[in-house]
Structure 1
Amino acid sequence: MAAAAEVAQALSRALSSLQGPDCGRAARLRALETIRAEVQERPLPAAVVQEVFGAQLVRPLARCLAGDAAERCRELALQLLRHGLSHGDRPEEALPVLLPALAQRLCPPQGFEPCEELRLGLLQLLGLLLQRCGAAVAPYLSDVIRILQATLLDHYAEVRRESCRCAVACAQAVPEHFHMQSESLINPLMQTVSHQHYRVRVDVIQATGAVIQFGNGKSVDDVLSHLAQRLFDEIPKVRQAVTTVIGEWLLHLRDRYSYFHKLIPLLLGSFTDEIPENMTLAWTYWEKIGLQWEKENEEDLKDKMDFSVSPSHYPKGVTRPGLGCRELVSRNLSKILPGLCHDITDWVENTRIKASQLLYTLLLHAEDHITQHMDLLLRTLYQACLDEESEVVRNCVKAAELIGTFVNPKVSLKLITSAFEKTPKPSCIMVLTAVIRGSPKEILQPHLTDLGNMLSQAGVCQRSEEVFYMEQLLYCVEALIEVCQEDCKEICLQLLKVLVTVMATPDSQHLKEKAEETVCSLAEVQQLDSFLCLYKQHIIQLLEWVSVSHDSWTCYSPEILQLDVIANHSGPVIGEALDDFILILKTCLQPNKDPQMRLKLFTVLSQLLQKANETVNSQGLFPSYLEIVIKDILAPNLQWHAGRTAAAIRTTAVSCLWALIHCETLSPEETLKVKDVLMPEIIAAMDEDSKISRLMGCCIVGVFLKVCGRQFDEDQLTKIYPEVLKRLDDASRDVRLAAARTLTNWFNCVKDSDMKSVMKSNIEILYQELLIHLDDQDQDTQNAVLNALKEGSILYPELLVREIEVIIHKHRTPVYCNQLLHHIQSAKEPLL
């Protein structure tokens, strides 16, 4: 008491100056400096500080703090008050004086501290009061709440942060009373939760956690959407704060059972945080929550705890959550899932990604409880798998794999199949593929036949030519082969039909190559030597499959492309099924059928005939079908009809005939049989607009002359050479060369027959015409004509010499004429 009296005596003069009505700013500053020197800068016992502080200093310092116009005076008063509260042993005695002063200075409109640093100091003083006074603050709770409502929205970030710390201190100091007014802080906290400074956001989230945990739990609904938004925050510490708050609520909130379905998604959402520390924090909390719930519901879970066995086909590399965690999700899934499914289709990309990640986590926990939510799940997955964001699709596919792992195929496949029966979409196939990949082989095996039949239905595998759709169909087949391995033998034909359809997708070479690899995989799992063995087993069935409606095919029929794939991809195997193959061609290549469709089929036939010994004639059986091919297929389509398509058909028909001849599939005997039937059409082909038709026509006539020379009569030979001669004027160099070679064969026909004398006038005309073309501008054409004339010179050499002498002076160069004369002279000498 003596020490306190001594200090009080030392302070009396300063206090008088401080409280005097006419005391100026300088005097007040000197007084405050004196007080600081006596109280703050001297080591005094706590009892002395309390006695002096409580009896003499609190009120004048509080008045100075609340109303002094000088910022320095207010600052010194604040320092002295903080010192007194920190070192005094009965700080609660200052509450009646200090709290109204703080409220007056921090709560507009009564008054407002303009200095940011002083506002921060005032809040630190409030925090010190809350910390040191504890429950004694209860009567002044309204003032504290009023202060915090204002300062939580302060423009100075540090003031907001300190306000958050004060809110936490207040909640912890008077929990019995705080819950009655805690809701008043929710609105300002939520207005601050998106502040531009991340440290403010962290403090607001922590404050929100304490305010609700020690306050009114009903406020959870008011803050959940804001906290959920903070899970997308780019700062890891902000996301970490949310995880901590939600974890603490799930462990300690009084009404947590009522909010499990709202809080669990937020905590599980942190399982996929990009920062490992945040993921670990979420898992740690979740394990504690699960164990706590197990203990609280031990009687209810007794049977499950005793007999819980991990599924043998659990996803590899994934740790199975504890029983309490699984039960919490399973029991709340019906409340969580509808909102989550809505978020997966939200317009905001980040929301969709987060929701798709959470869906996988929830299904991993729910296991076979997924079954009762299949309708909603599948509808959502069908839509989400078409998302433009690849990560959403990837997460949804992973979730669909869990359906295959945990749900009985009788249920899942039946529901998915029913979606196929309506309008199959690529996303339906994606979900089915994922379910197959997630299913154990032995569980899937009884359903293989149904799966194969469904996929090979025309309404599924031929529904669309869209590359993305066909790609998903291919992935589905790949999944079946990968999972079921050798069991795929029982649906081999159905899978082959699907793969043929995929390979027939127009304008997609990469898809065709992938499908070909899959065909090889299908053969490999059946331990066959190559994919050709698959075709060997099923070629007849495949041809029957594509030809079901071949009599009514049009150019848009997908079966044409499928037939193309079967015929070309099966290689030599097609040579074992000529009965069916030739019948399809004969039916579809009649002149009364769709011209565009005929053009496509002729292209297929032409490709096969170009390598006949490796395809249609691999077994040596094709010659027995030649008569049908030539008389019933080629000949009718060589006849002239108006139109570009008809011309294109004639071109492909000529190409097919040339392929037959060129690869020697058409023997001399067969050539002899068909020459009279085909010659008029081939001669006509030499006058087509198509260069290929003219070229092939010349080549074919040349072969006919070479093979059947003695069989041509005078009339036929007379009709042939003028048409060939016309081709020497052709714009195409290749056609001119072919025409010259054909005339060489024509000369050979006459040379070895009795018609030489009868056709002298025709030969003379030929000499004259060829000598003109011997002066062609193209050197190769000149050489070809020279060879023809050399061959023809044997017939009437003197006549040819006379013709040369008539025309030689008209040529640009006499070189070729001289070579020809030299050749004739050389041929005579041996005779002499």
Structure 2
Amino acid sequence: MAAGDEHAASEVLRGVARHLNCLNEDNKATRRRALELIRRDTLDRALSSGVQQEVFSALLQPLLRCLSDPMEKCRETSIAMITEFLRSVPRPEEALPYLMPCLAQRFGEKEVLEPAEELRLSAVEMLVLLVEVCGKNLAPFLSEMIRVLQRSILDPFPDVKRESCRCAVEFAKSVPEHFHLQAESLVNPLMLTVSHQHSRVRVSVIEATGAVIQHGSGKNMDDVLSHLAQRLFDDSPQVRKAVTAVVGDWLLHMRDRYSYFHRLIPLLLSSINDEIPEIRLLAADLWRQVGSQWEKENEDDIKDKMDFLLTPPPHYPPGVERPGLGCRELVVRNLGRLVPAVSHDVTDWLVPTRIRTSQLLSVLLLHAEDHSTQHLQPLLATIYRACSESERDVVRNCLAAAKLLGTFVPPAVFLKLLLEHVTTPSSCSQPWTPLMVLAAVLGGCSGPLLKPHLQQIASTLVQPDVCQEYQQVVYLERLSSCVEMLLHQCESDCGSISLQLLQVLVTVQSLSTDSQLSEKALETVQLLCKVQGLDSVIELYRQHMDQLLDWLSSSVSTWSSFSPQRLQLQVVVVQSGPVIGEFLSQLMPLLCSCLQPNRDPEMRMSIFTMFAKLLLDANNTLDSRGRFCDESEQFLCDVLLPNLVWRAGRTAAAVRTAVLSCVLALLHGQAITPGQLLSLEEKLSPRVLSALDEDSQMSRLFACRSLSAILRLIGTSLHQEALNKIYPELLKRLDDSSEEVRGEALQALDLWLSSLTKDYDLELCSPHLQLLFQQLLLHLDDPDSSVQDRVLDVLKKGSSVHPVLLRREVEAVRDKHRSPVYCDLLLQSFSSPPTS
């Protein structure tokens, strides 16, 4: 120190000597005034750096004593003066032996903590300044610095927390060779603060954690990783960006990073799917740097792989940039440790964790490529569990991962496991999960690679335990998706398994209770036609109808109301349209077998209802080739009539109603010739007539209509004895509770009268006509005028059959009617000329 500077310093110190004495006064105003005067005579004067250094050394201890002054203003002034001296003196490190212990006592102990948060902030800012100006000279005071930071990081004031984190970062960089000795002491305070409500505080804590771990011993990595992983779900993009930067820095620069690759890689790769583009780009850039650095560090180890691994595998996902060799190798070498962790987190109770983990799975598989084969079983188990939940994003991400498995894993390998799970889904929480995953994996595999395995896949899907065991809509959707995916991937090659695929789609339609799913399955049937170059679905059924009917017939002896085969039969016969008429020789024995009276009644009822619909459009279905007439007589005798025999019970009555609908459809659809009907009349009429007494209104209605159809077809050919058995039963229906049945009975009676030819012996059968006329005349006085009008029309028809008898009967009852109007109208018709 120059003599002049020494003299100047002495002069300054003599000038402030009295003020220094005043710092011990009890009066707080006096102490505050003394500090202000000391400042005026030292810092506010333009002193040389040498003088300032000497003055600071003399004033330091009095100023440090003021840090404990009861008056806040004195403490504030003292901190401000010390800070200014530190910034201006040439050798601030000379103050450390006095300054650091004092700061540690004042700001690092709970018992004497500074109450004013602004002063605590100023103190931490002074610490940051100390790190900047003293650097390595702070090494001997490591304990004091750590003690202050432990306390200040937990400070209630957010700004103090942030400045403390900044101080920790700078201190760690300044004394790295010493910092590691006590770095772990800061981990707990940092982790207690990492979830602070202020995002800027969380960012600062994450950055400080990065420095503490980077320059520490590495023993506390496990203590911080779980907290940082949670911050990847932070609402603040800046927090997520900070985590990404810190993890990337560890992967690049941490001394023991190789030991933690399996823990750090998932964190960095998770950010590659962040919703913020800036974070995604940062993560991708850091990951590329990590991969490139690893390549350089392990160049000798991977030299033999360089050429092979630089060539993308065939059928690589389009539009996806292939990761670098180092990145891929890092994932491959750590995949055994990563898969269990992913498997655990993908079922985490927090939805964001499950979503982020499912995204990570796809990234890992994209890096692992064909190396995922050796981990296929645990990977599939992970995907099964994830796809069994209701969170759509998780399911979508895991299916994308499954598609990558299909791209990189040989079909022979993944099919061995997948098809086993499809046939025995009990190992999964949901039975449709293996089908869902199978469809996704097939979507990632190329058609040429799948071609040799098509028969194996189709044979599995068509197994009854697979396609008929479950009737949930979601299961059937997944089953249909597998077929659709095969068609998209293999197209015309699917011709070899066309029958099995059609059987699966028929089953889906038959079991589905959802109209949209049925429509989707039908669209897939049309796609099956398209890939084979067929013009229509009808052509497809023509190609396979023989095998389809054999397929159904093989189990017909075991059908019941719960059997899916009866529903499959309905889909086949309805969708095949005119084709079914070409295979009657196989269809009719099948129907005769399952419609015997001793078979399940509910099953018979549903099949009879279906058959009635076919008969109504017989020309475009059963009789499309004009061959059904050869089968109809036997079907009527062997199937329909036996099922019309009365049996007790509501179900049996419902079956008879369905059979009557078939009889009516058979007659209306002209699927039976008049000659055949005439030969069967003696067997058919009694069954239909007995149905007129059924409790079911629909059965009585069908019976009346059937009699009308019989009379219309062969009425004029019937013997009078057969005719005379019909009208009495119809007359009973005129008192029916249903107006519709009464109307159909009158229609049938009108046809009955039209059926009387010249061969009908009027004299011999006059009692029958008399009874008919008498009963009709009773209803001519019906309260319902519409019934009276219809009865009048029927009686007018009767006037042409036996006018004398009818006139006599009308005159006999005219005066007994409530109103003679209708009788008079009828009598007038006798004198009117007949209408043509």
Do both share a fold (TM > 0.5)? Answer: yes
Deviation at 1:333, TM superposition (A): 0.4
- Report what 1:515 is aligned to: 521
**Given the alignment, which residue of 42, 45, 49 partners 1:46?**
49
Q: Which amino acid aligns with 1:104?
A: Q
Using the alignment, how far apart are the partners of 2:222 and 2:39 within structure 1? 49
The aligned residue for residue 300 of structure 2 is: 299
Aligned residues: 828
1:583 aligns with 2:586: no
Query: Cα–Cα, structure 1 residues 619 and 780, in superposed 2: closer, same or farther, change >3 Å?
Result: farther
Alpha-carbon offset, residue 559 of structure 1: 0.8
> Which amino acid is 1:333 matched to?
L
Q: Give the distance between the partners of 1:819 and 1:25, measured in 2 at CA.
A: 133
* Partner AA of 1:131 in structure 2: E
Q: Is 1:35 matched up with 2:38?
A: yes
Tell me what 2:177 maps to.
Answer: 176
Instruction: Provide the rounded CA distance (Å) in 2 between the counterparts of 1:415 and 1:763.
Output: 81
Q: CA deviation at 1:234?
A: 1.1
TM-score (norm 2): 0.96
Residue 228, structure 1, aligned to residue 229, structure 2 = yes
What is the CA–CA distance in structure 2 between the aligned matches of 1:714 and 1:829, rounded to whole Å? Answer: 26
Q: Residue 611 in 1 paired to residue 610 in 2? A: no
The 10-residue stretch of structure 1 (321-330 or 459-468) with the greater mean CA deviation from structure 2: 459-468
Deviation string 1:683-718 (CA, Å, 9 cap, x unpaired) is 011111222211121122122223333443444333
**How much has 1:751 moved relative to structure 2?**
4.8
Query: Which residue is 2:63 aligned to?
Result: 61
The residue that corresponds to 2:601 in the other structure is: 595
CA contact (8 A) 2:664 2:709 kept: no
* Maintained 8 Å contact 1:19/1:60: no
Whether the 8 Å CA contact 1:107–1:147 is kept in 2: the answer is yes
Tell me how far apart the structure 2 counterparts of residues 709 and 302 of structure 1 sit (CA, whole Å): 99
CA distance in 1, matches of 2:785, 2:272: 80
> Residue 828 of structure 1: CA displacement?
7.1
| Greater shift in the superposed pair: 525-534 or 17-26 | 17-26
Match of 2:252 in 1: 251
* SS of match in other structure, 2:832: helix
Map residues 403-552 of structure 1 onto 2, 5 A cutoff: 403-423=405-425, 425-552=431-558
**Residue type at the aligned position of 1:193:** V
Query: What is residue 168 of structure 2 aligned with on the other side?
Result: 167
Q: Is the 8 A contact 2:135 2:175 kept in 1?
A: yes
SS at match of 1:112: coil
Preserved CA contact (<8 Å) 2:668 2:709 = no
* AA of the residue aligned to 1:281: L
Deviation of 1:788 (Å): 0.8
Query: Letter of the aligned partner of 1:573 in structure 2?
Result: V
Residue equivalent to 1:206? 207
Indicate the SS of the match to 2:626: coil
Counterpart of 1:721 (choices 716, 727, 747) is 727
Contact 1:586 1:629 in 2 (8 A): yes
Distance of 1:705 and 1:601 partners within structure 2 = 27
Whether the 8 Å contact between 1:710 and 1:752 is mirrored in structure 2 is no
Query: Match of 1:405, as an amino acid?
Result: T
Cα deviation digits, residues 78-114 of structure 1 (max 9, x gap) = 1111111111111111111111111111122441100
Structure 1 segment 34-113 matched on structure 2, within 5 A: 34-54=37-57, 56-65=58-67, 67-113=68-114
Q: CA deviation at 1:749?
A: 2.7
Residue 794 of structure 1 corresponds to: 800
Shift, 1:8, TM fit: 5.2
For residue 816 of structure 1, what is the aligned residue in structure 2?
A: 822
Structure 1: which amino acid aligns with 2:303?
A: K
Q: Which residue of 1 aligns with 2:143?
A: 142
**Equivalent residue for 1:367?**
369
Name 1:671's counterpart in structure 2.
Answer: 677
Cα pair distance change 1:447/1:592, threshold 3 Å: same
Check conservation: 1:804, 1:817, Cα contact below 8 A. Answer: yes
Matched-pair contact (CA < 8 Å) for 2:8–2:51: no
Q: How far apart, CA to CA, are the structure 2 residues paired with 1:25 and 1:518?
A: 92
| Partner amino acid, structure 2, of 1:350 | P
Q: CA deviation at 1:829?
A: 11
Are the aligned partners of 1:11 and 1:34 in contact in 2 as well (CA < 8 Å)? no
Aligned amino acid, residue 565 of structure 1:
V
Residue deviations 1:476-530 (CA, integer Å, cap 9, x gap): 0000000101110011011001001001114222211111100000100111111
Tell whether 2:398 aligns with 1:390: no
Q: CA RMSD in A?
A: 1.8
Q: What do the CA deviations read for 1:763-804 (whole angstroms, capped 9, x no partner)? A: 222222212222334444333222211101112324333433
Counterpart among 341, 344, 360 of residue 343 in structure 2: 341
Q: Write the distance in 2 (CA, Å) between the matches of 1:569 and 1:529.
A: 15
1:703 to 1:255, Cα distance in 2 relative to 1, 3 A: same
Moved more, 548-557 or 573-582: 548-557
Q: 1:86 to 1:778 in 2, by over 3 A?
A: farther
Q: Please give the alpha-carbon distance, in whole angstroms, between the structure 2 residues aligned to 1:667 and 1:42.
A: 130
SS of aligned partner of 1:555: coil
What amino acid is aligned across from residue 148 of structure 1 in structure 2? L
Distance 1:778 1:291, change over 3 A: farther
Task: State the match for 1:153 in structure 2.
Answer: 154
Q: Is the 8 A contact 2:720 2:760 kept in 1?
A: no
Whole-Å Cα distance in 2 between the matches of residues 679 and 91 of structure 1?
Answer: 124
**Alpha-carbon distance in structure 1 between the residues aligned to 2:271 and 2:379:** 22
Name the residue aligned to 2:327.
Answer: 325
SS at match of 1:299: coil
Kindly indicate whether the alpha-carbon contact (under 8 Å) linking 2:345 and 2:353 is maintained by their aligned counterparts in 1.
Answer: yes
Distance 2:315 2:835 in 1: 96
Whole-Å Cα distance in 1 between the matches of residues 820 and 620 of structure 2?
49
2: CA distance between counterparts of 1:476 and 1:816? 72
The amino acid of 1:515's aligned partner reads: A
Could you say if the C-alpha distance between residues 496 and 539 of structure 1 is closer, same or farther in structure 2, counting changes exceeding 3 Å?
A: same
Unaligned runs of 5+ in 2: none
2:554 aligned with 1:553, yes or no? no
Q: Does 1:624 align with 2:625?
A: no
Q: Does 1:274 align with 2:275?
A: yes
Structure 1 CA distance for aligned equivalents of residues 21 and 303 of structure 2: 74
Amino acid at match of 2:351: E
Within the alignment, does 1:733 sit opposite 2:739 as a pair?
A: yes
The answer to whether structure 1 residue 757 and structure 2 residue 757 are counterparts is no
In the alignment, residue 44 of structure 2 is paired with which amino acid?
A: E
* Deviation of 1:344 (Å): 1.0
Q: What fraction of aligned residue pairs are identical, expressed as a percent? A: 51
1:62 to 1:809, Cα distance in 2 relative to 1, 3 A: farther
Aligned partner letter, 1:51: E
Structure 2 partner of 1:263 = 264
Structure 1 residue 810, shift from structure 2 partner: 5.1
In 2, the alpha carbon distance for the partners of 1:478 and 1:85 equals: 77
TM-score of the pair, normalised by structure 1: 0.97
* TM superposition shift of 1:25: 1.3
Q: 1:22 to 1:345 in 2, by over 3 A?
A: closer
1:762 Cα deviation from its structure 2 partner = 2.2
Q: 1:15, 1:31 within 8 Å by CA — same for their partners in 2?
A: no
Amino acid at match of 1:250: L
Whole-Å separation in 1 of the counterparts to 2:209 and 2:238: 16
Report the residue type matching 1:468 in the other structure.
V
Give the CA deviation at 1:71.
Answer: 0.3
| Aligned 8 A contact 1:505 1:512 in 2 | no
Displacement of 1:69? 0.8
- Alpha-carbon contact 1:14-1:32 (below 8 Å) kept: no
Q: What CA distance in whole angstroms lies between the structure 2 residues aligned with 1:271 and 1:88?
A: 49
Deviates more, 1:807-816 or 1:169-178: 807-816
Is 1:649 the counterpart of 2:650 in the alignment? no
Is 1:17 aligned with 2:23?
no
- 1:702-713 to structure 2, matched below 5 A, reads 702-713=708-719
